[in-house]
């Protein structure tokens, strides 16, 4: 595919992290050897969206006995973190793979609360990573001196619940400006066409609609006006089309073809995703974190999807999808499509719920 670069930075393979049942010895009683332990059942082969649905069901039923989960793309299976042996059978019976970990979701949420209170520094982000069972804190190149020292102290104080990483780039919304859309405030990218009350709209990034209220296509023809704009806090905007023309539910693949979008799905760590944007066109990668918080210079945005898919200014608002499912809207990040980087996306499901719109 033209302009496609697949990131291999992280495969989120869980095989090595799953506890195996090993016979530690043999107990003799009445001259008979004990019955060997039964091997764990093979997990079900699942697509990423199906794994996400199963994860939601399992995490809800397990409650405090679960500590998140992720998609093993190589094995095409769901891995669920659990805190005790009692939850292992429930996970395995549902067709997923159980993995014993130390940190509960409550403990990780507590770490996030501490970070928000003590380390809300511009140029930082944090996201819960079920693969490492920690909150991964990232600082961009603008965080130095006293700010870096403060951040390091807070993370160190969280012990094994958090780890600190450094980004070579700078976290910023990609608004230098799907398909290119723009106005007097710059250029962005169209996310997904949607329908609300029988009328055609489209979703894009909220930091785009904060800067631009009247939208035109690449040819300069007006196509829509803002209906809703949300940034910071969240990062999505709803734009109403000015013309009642056909607005297909598909994404431009920049090779003469499109990907049809039939619905929206929740992201899962380990999910393979594709991003389309007007600057760098189409690139692939993997979801590396959920519920990410990013402290942009313009304000803090929470509840984001973190990935290793590259992006650059002008890609803001563009489509993140997995197969025929809409996943996210490009928010921001660091790096570029030459050196790579990390990117953050507004979940589409949350944007649809807030606006009352539907994919269509």
Give the pLDDT confidence of 9-39 residue by residue, as tens digits: 433 333 333 233 233 333 323 334 445 556 7
Q: Which pLDDT value is given to residue 35?
A: 53
- Provide long-range contacts, Cβ within 8 A and 24+ apart, for 66-69: 66/105, 67/101, 67/103, 67/104, 67/105, 67/108, 67/130, 67/133, 68/105, 68/108, 68/128, 68/130, 68/133, 68/269, 69/96, 69/130, 69/268, 69/269
Q: Which pLDDT value is given to residue 183?
A: 86
Q: Which pLDDT value is given to residue 33?
A: 43
The verdict on 320 and 232 lying in the same domain is yes
Burial of 44 per CB tally in 10 Å (0-12, 13-18, 19+): middle
Choosing from 133, 140, 207, 308, the catalytic residue is 207
Instruction: Confirm whether 118 is a catalytic residue.
Output: no
Q: What is the CATH number of the domain that holds 358?
A: 2.40.10.10
The verdict on 343 and 232 lying in the same domain is yes
In a domain, 2, yes or no: no
The verdict on 132 and 174 lying in the same domain is no
The verdict on 89 and 123 lying in the same domain is no
The verdict on 322 and 252 lying in the same domain is yes
The verdict on 214 and 345 lying in the same domain is yes
Output DSSP code: residue 160. G
Q: What percent of the chain has pLDDT over 70?
A: 88
The domain boundary, picked from 75, 100, 125, lies at 100
In a domain, 149, yes or no: yes
Total structural domains within the chain: 3
In a domain, 9, yes or no: no
Instruction: Confirm whether 207 is a catalytic residue.
Output: yes
Instruction: Confirm whether 235 is a catalytic residue.
Output: yes
Q: Which pLDDT value is given to residue 176?
A: 43
Q: 112 in helix, strand or coil?
A: helix
Whole domain around residue 63: which residue ranges?
15-100
The pTM of this model reads 0.81
- Residue 2: is its pLDDT beyond 50? no
Choosing from 167, 316, 322, 331, the catalytic residue is 316
The verdict on 241 and 314 lying in the same domain is yes
d(CA 213, CA 225): 6
The verdict on 61 and 183 lying in the same domain is no
- Residue 117: is its pLDDT beyond 70? yes
Work out the pLDDT band at 178, boundaries 50, 70, 90: low
In a domain, 231, yes or no: yes
Matching residue, tokens 């959920």? 290
Instruction: Please give the mean pLDDT across all residues of the chain.
Output: 87
Could you read off the pLDDT of 243-292 as tens digits, one per residue?
877 789 999 999 989 999 999 999 999 999 999 999 999 999 999 999 99
Choosing from 235, 252, 308, 315, the catalytic residue is 235
The verdict on 162 and 176 lying in the same domain is no
């Amino acid at each position: 595919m033209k302009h496609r670069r697949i990131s291999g930075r992280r495969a989120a393979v869980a095989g090595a992290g799953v506890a195996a049942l090993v016979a530690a010895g043999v107990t003799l009683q009445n001259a008979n050897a004990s019955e060997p332990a039964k091997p764990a059942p093979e997990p079900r082969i699942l697509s990423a969206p199906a794994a996400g649905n199963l994860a939601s069901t399992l995490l809800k039923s397990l409650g405090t006995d679960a500590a998140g989960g992720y998609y093993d793309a190589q094995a095409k299976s769901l891995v669920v973190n659990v805190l005790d042996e009692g939850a292992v059978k429930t996970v395995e019976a549902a067709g997923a793979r159980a993995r014993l970990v130390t940190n509960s979701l409550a403990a990780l949420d507590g770490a996030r609360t501490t970070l928000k209170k003590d380390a809300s520094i511009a140029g930082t982000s944090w996201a819960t990573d079920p693969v490492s069972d920690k909150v991964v804190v990232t600082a961009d190149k603008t965080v130095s001196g006293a700010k870096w020292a403060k951040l390091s102290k807070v993370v160190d104080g969280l012990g094994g619940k958090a780890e600190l990483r450094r980004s070579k780039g700078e976290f910023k919304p990609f608004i230098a400006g799907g398909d290119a859309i723009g106005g007097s405030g710059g250029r962005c990218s169209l996310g997904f066409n949607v329908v609300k009350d029988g009328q055609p709209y489209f979703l894009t990034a909220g930091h785009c609609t904060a800067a631009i209220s009247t939208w035109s296509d690449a040819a300069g023809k007006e196509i829509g006006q803002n209906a809703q704009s949300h940034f910071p806090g969240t990062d999505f905007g709803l734009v109403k089309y000015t013309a009642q023309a056909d607005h297909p539910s598909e994404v431009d693949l920049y090779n003469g073809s499109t990907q049809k979008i039939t619905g929206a799905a929740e992201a899962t760590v380990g999910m393979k995703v594709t991003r389309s944007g007007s600057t760098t066109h189409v690139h692939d990668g993997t979801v590396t974190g959920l519920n990410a918080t990013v402290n942009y210079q313009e304000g803090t945005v929470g509840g984001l999807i973190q990935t290793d898919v590259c992006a650059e200014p002008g890609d803001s608002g563009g489509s993140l999808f997995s197969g025929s499912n809409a996943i996210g809207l490009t928010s921001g990040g660091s790096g570029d499509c030459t050196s790579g980087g990390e990117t953050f996306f507004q979940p589409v499901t949350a944007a649809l719920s807030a606006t009352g719109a539907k994919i269509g």
